[in-house]
């Protein structure tokens, strides 16, 4: 073989390898998580369905689905990263919805290496380390987004973080187009906080007393109450409404269903329901903890009353 032919062969091999690596059935991607359609299906229909089936009393969340659908749509090139800000009381579903978003967009859901979950009190506890947190955050965001543009960053308990930490990502969020060879525009940021939840609840109670239906409330009704998120520049502010009796019961039923109990007895639903505390003091209209802790409670009930008889022999 002449040198020329050898060079040609080498070139061919290189081209082949390059193509295999960008191919979604690349054997490497069977084991590791790649940055392709397989690992990141971005399944908006699944998200729509899950939210409809498993999130109760939060009709305003639909805006999120539309925003996500638009952001990763193949017909549209976003001009900047997408930022969503979720506000509401504990247990109103902010974390729940974030989890469903991760599970619909990424095959490995919250375990995906493209999904990052930061919790204010755990990851950024100390005011005096603010500069270090900022540096790390910037490096991580840049590093991850360089490797794969479609990253999801969830910041929980934003109101518990030192005020300046998120300034580190402000430039990343504001960048339009490519900077230093990094395209930040496909990234998604979700900020969760209790900020504004008192006002949301008050406003909701006021409307409820006037006889207005929950489903009639519009996003713009809440705009002035929560237009103060992590940066004041998020694309969408979503209020999570406080949970009332009917929503809590739906949550309980859902937890039973998740454990294979399709028709729990009213007695057992009641048992799960009883431990919930209601507020505010004057009206007792809302569950103070939303649907939080219901899962554990129902788990205990299912083990107690519904465990199949053939499971373990202490039933004999
Ligand atoms: C990606 O983010 C994680 C934190 O979620 C960080 O530990 C890791 O170092 C980052 N990767 C790169 C390449 O920067």
pLDDT in tens, 18-45: 555 555 567 888 888 999 999 999 999 9
Count the residues in the chain.
Answer: 316
Helix (H, G, I), strand (E, B) or coil at 229: coil
Query: What is the pLDDT at residue 29?
Result: 85
pLDDT of residue 18: 58
Q: Indicate if 259 and 154 belong to the same structural domain.
A: no
Residue 148 placed within a domain: yes
Contact 171, 134 (CB under 8 A): no
pLDDT score recorded for residue 1: 59
pLDDT at 15: 62
Which residue range is the domain that position 148 belongs to?
Answer: 44-240
Residue after which a domain boundary falls, among 215, 240, 265: 240
Instruction: Please give the distance, rounded to the nearest whole angstrom, from the Cα atom of residue 193 to the centre of ligand 1.
Output: 23
List pLDDT tens digits, range 237-246.
999 999 999 9
Helical ranges in 149-244 per DSSP H: 170-174, 197-209, 219-226
Phi, psi torsion values for 40, nearest 5 degrees: -125, 75
Which phi and psi (to 5°) does residue 225 adopt? -75, -35
Give residue 314's pLDDT.
Answer: 46
Structural domain count of the chain: 2
pLDDT at 129 exceeding the cut of 50: yes
The radius of gyration of the chain from alpha carbons, rounded to an integer in Å, stands at 24
Same domain for 206 and 73: yes
Closest ligand 1 atom, residue 147 Cα: 13
Residue nearest to atom 5 of ligand 1 (CA): 116
Residue 300 C-alpha from the chain's centroid = 27
Let me know: does 149 contact 57? Beta carbons within 8 Å.
no
Is 29 part of any domain?
no
Based on the domain organization, do 254 and 230 belong to the same domain? no
Is pLDDT above 80 for 175? no
Q: Are residues 174 and 227 located together in one domain of the fold?
A: yes
Residues with CB under 6 A from ligand 1: 116, 139-140, 143-144, 147
Percentages helix, strand, coil for the chain, rounded to the nearest 5? 50, 10, 40
Return the best residue to mutate from 102, 106, 143 for the ligand 1 pocket (most ligand atoms within 8 A of CB): 143
Contact 241, 57 (CB under 8 A): yes
What is the average pLDDT value for the chain, to the nearest integer? 89
Distance CA 257, CA 272 (A): 14
Q: What is the pTM of this model?
A: 0.87
């Amino acid at each position: 073989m002449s040198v020329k032919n050898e060079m040609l062969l080498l070139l061919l091999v290189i081209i082949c390898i390059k193509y295999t690596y960008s191919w979604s059935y690349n054997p490497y991607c069977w084991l590791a998580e790649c940055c392709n359609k397989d690992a990141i299906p971005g399944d908006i229909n699944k998200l729509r369905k899950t939210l409809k089936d498993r999130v109760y009393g939060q009709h305003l969340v639909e805006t999120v689905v539309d925003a996500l659908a638009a952001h990763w749509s193949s017909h549209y090139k976003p001009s900047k990263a997408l930022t969503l800000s979720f506000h509401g009381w504990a247990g109103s579903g902010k974390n729940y919805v974030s989890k469903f978003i991760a599970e619909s967009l990424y095959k490995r859901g919250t375990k995906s290496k493209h999904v990052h979950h930061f919790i204010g009190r755990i990851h950024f506890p100390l005011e005096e380390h603010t500069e270090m947190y900022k540096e790390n955050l910037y490096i991580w965001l840049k590093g991850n987004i360089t490797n794969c543009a479609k990253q999801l960053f969830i910041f929980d308990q934003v109101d518990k973080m030192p005020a300046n930490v998120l300034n580190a990502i402000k430039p990343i969020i504001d960048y339009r187009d490519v900077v230093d060879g990094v395209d930040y525009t496909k990234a998604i940021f979700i900020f969760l906080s209790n900020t504004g939840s008192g006002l949301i609840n008050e406003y909701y109670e006021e409307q409820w007393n006037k006889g207005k239906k929950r489903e009639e409330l519009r996003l713009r009704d809440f705009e002035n109450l929560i237009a103060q998120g992590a940066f004041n520049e998020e694309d969408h502010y979503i209020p999570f409404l406080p949970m009332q009796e009917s929503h809590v019961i739906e949550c309980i039923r859902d937890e039973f269903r998740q454990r294979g109990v399709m028709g729990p007895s009213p007695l057992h639903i009641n048992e799960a329901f009883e431990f919930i505390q209601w507020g505010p003091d004057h009206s007792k209209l809302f569950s103070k903890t939303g649907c939080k802790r219901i899962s554990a409670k129902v788990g205990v009930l299912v083990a107690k009353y519904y465990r199949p008889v053939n499971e373990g022999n202490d039933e004999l």
